[in-house]
Amino acid sequence: MIWGQADLLEKLRELARNFWWTWQPNVVELFRELDPALWRETGHNPVEFLQKLSHDQLSKRASEMALHSRVDYAFRRLNEYLKNEDSWGATYASMFRARPVAYFSAEFGLHESLPIYSGGLGVLAGDHLKSASDLGVPLVGIGLFYAQGYFRQSLDDKGWQIENYLNADPKLLPVDPALGPDGKPVIVRVETQSGVLQARVWRVEVGRTSLLLLDSNVPENSESDRALTARLYGGDARVRIRQELLLGVGGVRALQALNIDPSVLHLNEGHSAFAVLEMIRFMMESEEIPFGEAVRDVAARTVFTTHTPVAAGHDRFGASLIDEHLGKLRESLRLSHEDFMGLGRVFPGDSGEPFCMTVLALKLSRHANGVSALHGQVSRRMWQPLYPQLSEEQVPIGHITNGVHALSWIAPQMLVIYNSYLGGGWERRMRHPEAWTDVHKIEDGELWETHQILKAQMIEFIRRRLVEQYTRRKEPPEILEKVSQALDLEVLTLGFARRFATYKRAGLVLLDAERIARIVNSSNRPIQLVFAGKAHPEDHLGKELIQAIAHMARDDRFSHRLVFIEDYDMNTARQLVQGVDVWLNNPRRPQEASGTSGEKALLNGVLNCSILDGWWAEAYDGSNGFSIGRGRSHSNPATQDERDHRELLETLTNEVVPLYYDRDASNLPRGWIKRQKAALRSLAWRFNADRMVMDYVQNAYLPAAGGLPCEVGK
Ligand SMILES: *Cc1c(COP(=O)(O)O)cnc(C)c1O
């Protein structure tokens, strides 16, 4: 190795060990340029990438890329970022410095290279950590280390989803053992009636925020417990309660072992609600106070965010599973079995009612919120029986609408535009409407040209993925040839990518195959459709839906113009939300609590075409995108689907298609561009994660830390 290269590699490795790099386009580009093929091969994981990068390649690229100065610059910026005292949080959240907010979540989506997320809930948690870091809000995340993650998706030659599980090697990930005050790796123990469960703790750096991940794969555990945290949402109810025990009770113990004394507990969804019980037990013991007093203290400091507007979607456990796993804890709390079960029941005396994690979380928190205005309303109605003395409007569940971490989702080319038109430092002001007033000054041609470049990139990405998919399935050369030419830059392109949960209705636009085939193949105003998404391994209907779409993609009526991209993840999401023209969203209202992929699209100047549900119900103003229908629901889902299908095609053919193809003499769709700008101007400042985290700080964390009543906005 030549002199200086060791230092260079050291700095690159340090950059790779903090997820900060993921929202720095310059650093992403730095890694990629070192060896584009290897970068792709290693799944954009810089730790693995740097281990596999040859010295020869490094020295070759070092001279070609002015590598030393670029790495030095990135490294300096990281250190400045980590040290920066001049943040929003330094002014408004400094009280959390000594005692941070503890943010619990069963999944975290930080980047495709750490696959411990399955969908929106995880990506939201990841975006929350990133914005907390940018804003300088002291917060520590707590989750589980799923070595096999969710699963990698592929389709067989019949279009049936196959789940592939790969074992991640911690040595190839930016995770380090969390060390206790004695300098030794922390091991967490949780007692159950059937033995002790143990876990090691990994620490992940996300800018200035740390994330702790509990991992049951330690030799002290039985074989089956070693595999306990291997998969996200992979097991039966027993696996699930043991995972949740580890996350909640183990999570609080991990914090204690690390000398972190949180001022606020934030439960992102009910999975982690056992954390509150463990905190209560700790208070009873350390302060020598009775259960009731400890509950008052801890509940006042607990914030609970619910995400599920459907009753069946909430975790519930039977009495024997609860007794096996929480029996020891219950004894410390000095509660009878029935009193304990009552904490998780809507009707505490109903011995037939199972133990519901959401009920527990609602009872043990004084700050509860849904994730959009409509979802807040739906949650108040759904949980009203828990508060028989209150009317629906009085139910203490407010809302804070989800947002996305802008710099993680905006294409670098769009950042160039924002940097030149919105003024330096716009990204630090993006949560203010004024930061976006100059959007109207963006030159139409420049905006459109940039979008076309991103669309072309996406098409290239899709073709490459299709060729890989079809090659793996050993398809004949003529089919490979065909898919290598799929999609057309000049054709209006709709994207639909998300989990294939039934309520999201991935197949809605395709319901009438003949009709959509005519729209797709219109001679002068055609459209094309891009689909991606995973179905839960147990969700047979979801898999059938994928199969049906995969089948249509092979139908000659749709060839080139309808594609299904396998293995939807954050990378695919980024490509699609940056490259399509329209982001399609047609959930069965009001089941989409918020939805966030449309917000990612919005920030890239992509127009949303959506049912008025979740975030879109409060975002759409008539001129900043497209609405499907007028925000109605129906007690009969079949009727609702039929009506929504009709209204979707109406919006598509009467509004979306004409506006897209209405071009001026220079072939610019002026009306479309106007709408893109209206969307950015009216929505970008609201639906980003900085605004969301600030709302949590001001309306939930600060009141919780000060023991003030709930202020979560209604
Ligand atoms: C953003 C994102 C989601 C969430 O999408 P919704 O629109 O909320 O369904 C799911 N999966 C991935 C990989 C994402 O990036």
Q: State how far the alpha carbon of 502 is from the alpha carbons of 543, 544, 548, 549, 615, in Å.
A: 10, 11, 14, 14, 19
Sign of the alpha-carbon dihedral angle for 61, 65, 69, 70: negative
The highest-level CATH class for domain 99-402+694-704 is alpha beta
Q: Is the pLDDT of residue 282 over 50?
A: yes
373 alpha carbon to ligand 1 midpoint, in Å? 19
Residue 312 pLDDT exceeds 90? no
Does residue 126 line the site of ligand 1, with CB under 6 A? Answer: no
Q: Name residue, tokens 């561009």.
A: 673
Tens digits of residue pLDDT in 491-528:
999 999 999 999 999 999 999 999 999 999 999 999 99
Residue to mutate (ligand 1; options 22, 111, 123, 583; most atoms within 8 A of CB): 123
pLDDT digits (tens, 9 = 90+) for 142-177: 999 999 999 999 999 999 999 999 999 999 999 999
Q: Which pLDDT value is given to residue 310?
A: 85
DSSP of 583-601, one letter per residue? EEE---TT--S---HHHHH
- CATH number of the domain at 406-687, out of 3.40.50.2000, 3.40.630.30, 3.90.1150.10, 2.40.50.100? 3.40.50.2000
Rounded CA separation 338/334 (Å): 12
**How do residues 610-627 score in pLDDT, each as one tens digit?**
999 999 999 999 999 999
Span 648-694, pLDDT tens digits: 999 999 999 999 999 999 999 999 999 999 999 999 999 999 999 99
Please report, for the chain, the start and end positions of each structural domain, with discontinuous segments joined by +: 3-83, 99-402+694-704, 406-687
Residue 253 has pLDDT above 50, yes or no: yes
The tokens for 88 are: 């929003």
Domains 99-402+694-704 and 406-687 share a fold: yes
Six token digits for residue 679: 């969307």
| Confidence band, pLDDT 50/70/90 cuts, at residue 713 | very low
Residue whose Cα lies nearest atom 3 of ligand 1: it is: 120
590 prior amide bond cis, ω within 30: yes
Does any ligand 1 atom lie closer than 6 A to the CB of residue 401? no
Q: Would you tell me how many other CB atoms lie within 10 Å of the CB of residue 200?
A: 20
Which pLDDT score is estimated for 511?
96
Name 162's bridge partners: 154
Q: What's the 668 CA to ligand 1 centre distance in angstroms?
A: 31
CA distance 402 to 690: 10
pLDDT of 439 strictly over 90: yes
Q: What torsion, rounded to 10 degrees, do the Cα atoms 29, 34, 35, 41 define?
A: -60
**What does DSSP say about strands 562-565 and 397-399: parallel, antiparallel, or unpaired?**
unpaired
Nearest-5° Cα angle at 583, 577 to 587: 120
Ligand 1 centroid from CA 110, angstroms: 12
Residue 1, pLDDT > 60, answer no
Q: Which of 463, 460, 465, 457 is nearest to 484 (CA)?
A: 463
| Inter-residue contact 521 to 557 (CB < 8 Å) | yes
| Contact assessment for residue 192 and residue 245, using Cβ atoms and an 8 Å cutoff | yes
pLDDT band for position 5 (cuts 50, 70, 90) = confident
Q: Is 595 in the pocket of ligand 1 (CB under 6 A)?
A: yes
Q: Report residue 661 as tokens.
A: 């193809």
**Average pLDDT value for residue range 388-410:** 98
Residue 714 has pLDDT above 70, yes or no: no
Assess whether the C-beta atom of 123 lies below 6 angstroms from ligand 1. yes
> How distant is the alpha carbon of residue 144 from its chain centre?
15
